[in-house]
Amino acid sequence: MAIAGLMITGSAGFIGINMLKFIKEIHDFDFVLSIDKMGYATKYNASLFREIGITPTSGVHNMECDINDVSKLKSMCDITKDWWASDWTILDFASDSHVDNSISNPSSLYNENCSIPSNLLAWMGKDEWKNINHYYHISTDEVYGDIPLEEKNDKRRYFAPFHSLNPSNPYSASKVAQDMYLTAMYKTFSIPVTIIRMANQFGLHQHPEKMIPASILRALRGETIKIYGEGKNCRQWTFVDDTVQAIWNIMRGMERQVFYAPNVIQLADENNLIDNNELINKLVISLKRYNIEAKIEYINDRPGHDLMYAMKISDEDKQFFKTPFGEALDKTVDFYVEGFRNGLFT
C-alpha cells in the first residue's frame, strides 16, 4: 500500500499555519513535510510550531528553507532517498503576498514568486513527478484585475475561472506567472494540478502589515487607522477558518465538474463583498468592546489600486463559508488585542 505524504509550502504564513494546525488535528496522512523559509512575514509564527506540536515524532517534519534555494533543499532532504512516500499531495501556499512590497520593489518580489513552483518541482526531480497525487496551488482573485464599482450588485459580471487574466500590480502579475507555469506543467507532463483562487482573507496569525491587523494595532497604539483613497475599494472578505475547511474538503476528493483545465476553484464568502469604509467602520465598532475609540485617516491611494474583486463561487463551495462576518471580526480583534497586551506585536 502506498504511503501518503502531504507537503505544505509556506507553512508558517497566515493561511499556511492555519491549515497546518487543522491538518495536525485531523492527521489523515502518514506524514507531513512542512517547508517555510521563515522570512520576515512568517518567522513570528515560529513559536506556533512548538505550541501545536510540530515535531518529526508527531509525523510532521519541518524544514526551514527557501524553496528557491534548490541546492540547499536537496542537501536537507533528498526526496528520492530520505523520504519514502510514493503518493505525494502538495499544498503550495508559498509566496510573498504584500502588494505594497511589490510596488516598492517590483523586480525582487516578482522574480521570487515566479520561480517558486518551478524550483519546487525541480527539487523533486522529473522522475518523481509521477508520484504527485495532486498539486494544489494557492492563487488569488487579483489575477483577474478589477471590476467597476457600479457593477457590484450584478453577479453576472463577477469573475469566473475562464475569464482572462489582467493583473494590475507586480504581485498579481507574479501569481499569474505561477498559475500559467503550472498550467503548462499540467498540459506537458500531466501533473495533476488544481489552482485555488481565493479572496482577501482575514483571521488569526496574519502578519501585522495586512490591512485588518495593521488597523487594529494602529488603534491600540493610539494612532489613526489609514484608508487608501476614498475607501470605496471592495473585496470579498473571507474568514480563514472557513477557507481552511473548504480547502480540506477539496483535498478529500469532493467530486466536481471541471470546466477549465487545469481545474480552477474559486473560494470566497459572497456575503462579505464590502468596501473599505464599511470594513473599517465595523472594525471600529468591534474595538469599542475594549473601550478603544479609533480614529480614521484617509491617505493618498496606492498606484494601480484595483477597485473591486468579486468571484463567482460554486454552490458546493458556498456551503463552507458559514461564520458570520461580525463574529469572525470580533475573534480577529480579540487575538490581536491579546497579542498586543502580551508584547507579541510591538
pLDDT one-digit tens code per residue, 293-337: 999 999 999 888 889 999 999 988 999 999 999 999 999 999 999
Are the C-beta atoms of residues 89 and 251 closer than 8 Å to each other? yes
Q: Where are the beta strands (DSSP E) in 242-321?
A: 263-267, 273-275, 296-299
Closest CA to 163 of 144, 178, 182: 144
Where do the structural domains in the chain lie, given as residue ranges?
Answer: 4-203+238-270+310-321
**pLDDT, mean over the chain:** 88
Task: Dump pLDDT digits (tens) for 152-202.
Answer: 999 999 999 989 999 988 899 999 999 999 999 999 999 999 999 999 999
The residue whose grid cell reads 496574519 is: 206
What's the predicted TM-score (pTM) here? 0.92
CATH number of 4-203+238-270+310-321: 3.40.50.720
> What are the backbone dihedrals phi and psi of residue 297, each rounded to the nearest 5 degrees, phi first?
-130, 125
Alpha carbon 290 to its chain centroid, in Å, reads 29
